[in-house]
């Protein structure tokens, strides 16, 4: 029996099959979550396999990028077909692993990791779509453009490298990244407070024209003798929160550092616990941003009582975070002592 001849038509058919198999059905994350698979591993785990498959896909992409150069494509259909087949198989196996990561019943993979993974797989499939389009274009035009050849390879490579990075970081390192980002936002708020304390003013001062303000300064001070008292109260309040912000930043940065140095055993830490921590640290920054935005627009009627509810909500989030961190550190006397000291200093009463 003679071997099947691989010509341009066969390559076009394979490209159409790739589009039908991977591009059309999986345009969003919801579609990925609908994948059914019986894949199981005995001596491995889903993330390890995803890393391996990412490397295999990247290797095929490199070869496809070379063999599909316009100067080589039209004289190397068998080689093109072979690499596309290998690429297709690797993408298929990658998708077959996803249901294991989507399975929340095992409480192994944090949702922030799963979301990042799904988003990256969608980026990969967008690259697959672009690959199909570019090969179709070459076939239909009967020529290629050396100046614009297979731009999709860069998209595919970037997606594969992102998948590898997600796997290497895992639940703990990704959470550490998120908390470090939050630390940066807390630092921004702290800098705003520092700047305000160097030049105390009411929020409505920023809305007044400078020339008009200069003319009205004396009259305004005479008309509102209580303004200075209100501004001093605002200063006192922000000085207190200057200290509190430093404490909150210390809590977040110290916890992020312990996550990044693998102090915690990833296998013994439930994904749901990490998801709760991730949600709390994000909420804390959101609450801080809202609190200080409101403080900075205060006028001469400023009263710290106006912020009681906001502060209470923020402190409740901090208490919940401390509670979870305490539970995580229950077997580490040194870290347990540290979090207890922090809690005592931040919540003296």
Task: Looking at the structure, tell me whether residues 131 and 215 fall in a common domain.
Answer: no
Cα distance between residue 160 and residue 156, in whole Å = 6
Q: Read off the tokens for 292.
A: 């200080």
Task: Looking at the structure, tell me whether residues 195 and 327 fall in a common domain.
Answer: yes
Task: Dump the DSSP string for 39-104.
Answer: ---SS--HHHHHHHHHHHHHHHHHHHHHHTSHHHHTT-HHHHHHHHHHHHHHHHHHHHHHHHHH-G
Instruction: Determine, yes or no, domain membership for 47.
Output: yes
pLDDT of residue 214: 53
Percent of the chain that is helix, strand, coil (3-state, to 5): 80, 0, 20
- Axis crossing angle, helix 227-260 with helix 152-198, rounded to the nearest 10: 140
Q: Is the pTM value of this prediction over 0.75?
A: yes
Q: Decide: 291 and 314 in contact? Cβ < 8 Å.
A: yes
Instruction: Determine, yes or no, domain membership for 94.
Output: yes
Instruction: Determine, yes or no, domain membership for 158.
Output: no
Task: Looking at the structure, tell me whether residues 330 and 203 fall in a common domain.
Answer: yes
pLDDT of residue 1: 47
Q: Decide: 93 and 53 in contact? Cβ < 8 Å.
A: yes
Number of domains into which the chain is organized: 2
pLDDT of residue 218: 46
Q: For residues 45, 47, 48 and 52, what is the CA-based torsion angle, rounded to 10 degrees?
A: 130
Instruction: Determine, yes or no, domain membership for 14.
Output: yes
Q: Which of 117, 150, 183 is the last residue of a domain?
A: 150
**Main-chain dihedrals φ then ψ at residue 144, nearest 5 degrees:** -130, 165
Instruction: Determine, yes or no, domain membership for 167.
Output: no
Task: Looking at the structure, tell me whether residues 212 and 322 fall in a common domain.
Answer: yes
| Three-state secondary-structure class, residue 110 | coil
| Three-state secondary-structure class, residue 145 | coil
Structural domain including 222 reads 174-346
Task: Looking at the structure, tell me whether residues 183 and 137 fall in a common domain.
Answer: no
DSSP 348: -
H/E stretch holding 31: helix 29-33
Q: Which of 134, 150, 166 is the last residue of a domain?
A: 150
Instruction: Determine, yes or no, domain membership for 164.
Output: no
pLDDT of residue 119: 98
Q: Can you tell me which residue has the tokens 């697959």?
A: 128
Q: Decide: 175 and 277 in contact? Cβ < 8 Å.
A: yes
Task: Looking at the structure, tell me whether residues 138 and 220 fall in a common domain.
Answer: no
Task: Looking at the structure, tell me whether residues 115 and 240 fall in a common domain.
Answer: no
pLDDT of residue 334: 87
Q: Decide: 302 and 233 in contact? Cβ < 8 Å.
A: yes
Task: Looking at the structure, tell me whether residues 42 and 123 fall in a common domain.
Answer: yes
Task: Looking at the structure, tell me whether residues 198 and 294 fall in a common domain.
Answer: yes
Instruction: Determine, yes or no, domain membership for 165.
Output: no
Task: Looking at the structure, tell me whether residues 213 and 268 fall in a common domain.
Answer: yes
| Nearest alpha carbon to residue 270 among 333, 327, 332, 343 | 327
pLDDT of residue 233: 95
Average pLDDT by stretches of 10, the chain with 349 residues = 79 98 96 90 91 98 92 91 97 96 94 98 97 93 66 94 97 95 98 97 66 51 71 96 97 88 69 96 98 96 95 98 91 88 92
Task: Looking at the structure, tell me whether residues 113 and 221 fall in a common domain.
Answer: no
- Measured between alpha carbons, how far is residue 4 from residues 72, 139, 295 in Å? 21, 20, 75
Q: Is 252 exposed, middle or buried (0-12, 13-18, 19+ CB in 10 A)?
A: buried
Task: Looking at the structure, tell me whether residues 14 and 112 fall in a common domain.
Answer: yes
Cα distance between residue 249 and residue 193, in whole Å = 14
Instruction: Determine, yes or no, domain membership for 169.
Output: no
Q: Read off the tokens for 143.
A: 């020529």
| Nearest alpha carbon to residue 179 among 255, 283, 274 | 255
């Amino acid at each position: 029996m003679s071997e099947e001849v691989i010509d341009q038509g066969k390559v076009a058919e394979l490209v159409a099959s790739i589009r039908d198999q991977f591009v059309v059905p999986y345009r969003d994350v919801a579609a990925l979550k609908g994948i059914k698979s019986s894949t199981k591993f005995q001596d491995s785990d889903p993330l390890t396999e995803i890393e391996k498959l990412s490397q295999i896909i990247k290797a095929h992409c490199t070869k496809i990028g070379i063999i599909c150069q316009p100067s080589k494509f039209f004289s190397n259909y068998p080689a093109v077909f072979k690499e596309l087949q290998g690429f297709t198989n690797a993408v298929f196996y990658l998708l077959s692993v996803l249901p294991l990561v989507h399975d929340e019943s095992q409480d192994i993979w944090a949702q922030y990791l799963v979301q990042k993974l799904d988003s990256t797989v969608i980026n990969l499939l967008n690259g697959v779509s672009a690959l199909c389009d570019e090969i179709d274009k070459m076939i239909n035009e009967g020529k290629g453009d050396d100046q614009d050849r297979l731009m999709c390879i860069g998209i595919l490579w970037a997606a594969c490298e992102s998948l590898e990075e997600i796997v290497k970081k895992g639940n703990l390192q990704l959470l550490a990244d998120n908390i470090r980002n939050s630390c940066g936002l807390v630092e921004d708020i702290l800098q705003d407070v520092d700047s305000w304390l160097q030049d105390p003013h009411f929020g409505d001062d920023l809305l007044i024209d400078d020339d008009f303000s200069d003319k009205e300064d004396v009259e305004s001070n005479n008309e509102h003798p209580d303004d200075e008292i209100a501004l001093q109260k605002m200063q006192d309040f922000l000085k207190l929160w200057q200290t509190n912000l430093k404490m909150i930043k210390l809590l977040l940065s110290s916890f992020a550092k312990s996550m990044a140095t693998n102090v915690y055993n990833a296998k013994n830490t439930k994904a749901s616990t990490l998801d709760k921590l991730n949600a709390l640290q994000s909420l804390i920054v959101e609450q801080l941003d809202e609190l200080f935005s409101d403080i900075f627009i205060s006028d001469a009627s400023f009263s710290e009582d106006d912020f009681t509810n906001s502060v209470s909500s923020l402190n409740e989030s901090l208490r919940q975070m401390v509670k979870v961190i305490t539970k995580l550190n229950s077997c580490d006397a040194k870290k347990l002592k540290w979090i207890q000291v922090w809690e005592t200093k931040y919540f003296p009463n």
